[in-house]
Chain A
Amino acid sequence: MNEQLKAILEVLIFISQEPLTISKIKEVLGEIPEEELEEALQSLVADYQQGQRGIQVIKSGGGFIFTTKPEYDQWVRRLLQIEKKTKLSSAALETLSIIAYHQPITQAEISAIRGVDSTYSLKTLLQKKLIKIVGRKKAPGNPLVYRTTEKFLQYFGLNSLDDLPKEEEIAKILEEEKETVS
């Protein structure tokens, strides 16, 4: 194990404000063997996970970043004097998850799935920069087309869109619900 490499990685992640990507690390360190880098990163993540530490290194939004562990949430809030972080409204979350699974998608398509108008939710999500407009659809009226952003991934601690709950996972929950009902 290259202990020095591990220490350098720790420093780079510590000093980055955004999740530090592999390509960025390579840019800084120059050519290093892929395996060596991978090993050092995994070891670093594991060190923080196992040790009696309040902070940890996690992979989120396509890179590595330091965060506090969830069990110490209340202490952070006490220090910063924050009651509770505000969650997304149900309407906004519903709209967001439809965009996440069906992107690129138009407002009309979202509203059709939800059965309700989604103008306000879209506005909120745009403001929070969880979604973005990526163009217009070649369809009558040339409606705007929406996609989720990098910030969306970070917000939910996803590394990429592949990390979204899978279709099978959803089907399984549906099955379980059915059993409890009948």
Chain B
Amino acid sequence: MEQEIQELQENQVETQVSQATSDGYQVKLEIFEGPLDLLLFLIRKKKIDIHDIPIAVITRDYLEYLEKKDQINLDREAEFLLIAALLIYIKSQMLLPREQEAAREDDPRQILVDRLLEYQKVKIACSLLREKEEDQLQRWRRTFLPPVARPDELDLLEVSLFDLAETFFLILKRKEKENFQIIRGKDISAEEKMKEMVHYLEKHGSMDFLEYFENQETLEEALVSFFCLLELIKNHTVIAVQEQLFQTIRVWLRKTRQPSHPHGSSHE
């Protein structure tokens, strides 16, 4: 039950009700924070001692409030029904004949009383904190300051797990966008690429393949260019030389009309 109700509104209704002597009011369920809040309200209204609740009376009152609703929204009001069930359960326990000793030891109402007492404490803590909140909201602080220059020292921030998770999802989202761009990258046709490489060789004479490879826009394009290189070697269009392992591959156009090539050691 997560109603966002203005405190003001709540106060108004409560004063209205407390001024009343009869039951002629339409009290909306929504003004109560939950079933325990409603129960406490009924107990206070009837001036009942919380340690000695007449279950039958309070159950009747409680159900009356529920009945004022045309229909029960299970999402929002299931908790009210749960407490109604608890009340009826307690009453039935009290009606059952019990051995006297046992009856004295555990009053079936105790479970409810404990919860109500605990909740009552929470309500009072709330009202005290609310006073503090209202007071603090009237005290203003400066919220901005020029940044303090601290060139080489990074501030360690205390972050919670929640912060970390938030950051992680932010990064993930950013990463998703990056991937998205790669997927949208244009289709690379091997044929086009081969033509492009031959043009490059015709223009420049030779090619530093590592450099060419690195200048490709996308990984996909780079890979295609490597396939093309292999293809061009295979169909005797180019000669490729790698002088040492892991070093660049130099590429020349093969001059088919001139079988003897200045660089003899060619790998095909």
* Chain A residues close to B by CB (< 8 Å): 15, 17, 58, 65-71, 73, 76, 85, 87-91, 93-94, 96-98, 100-101, 113-121, 126, 132-135, 149, 155-158, 164-165, 169-170, 173-174, 181-182
Contact = CB atoms under 8 A, between A and B. Distances in A.
Interface of B: 1-5, 7, 10, 33-37, 44, 47, 79, 82-83, 115, 118-126, 128-130, 132-143, 145, 160-162
Nearest to B83: A115
B139 A70 contact: yes
A91 to B, nearest CB: 5
Given A66-B142, A134-B161, 8 more contacts: A70-B135, A87-B137, A91-B4, A94-B33, A115-B82, A157-B139, A170-B125, A174-B121
Nearest to A114: B34
The CB with the most chain A CB atoms within 10 A, among B5, B34, B129, B145, is that of: B129
Contacts of B134: 87
Contacts of B2: 91, 116-121
B119 A114 contact: yes
B147 to A, nearest CB: 10
B33 A114 contact: yes
Given A126-B162, A170-B121, A89 B79 contact: no
Contacts of A155: 133, 136
The CB with the most chain A CB atoms within 10 A, among B10, B115, B138, is that of: B138
16 contacts: A68-B139, A70-B135, A70-B139, A90-B7, A91-B1, A91-B2, A113-B115, A115-B36, A115-B37, A116-B2, A117-B1, A126-B162, A133-B161, A156-B129, A165-B124, A170-B125
A158 to B, nearest CB: 7
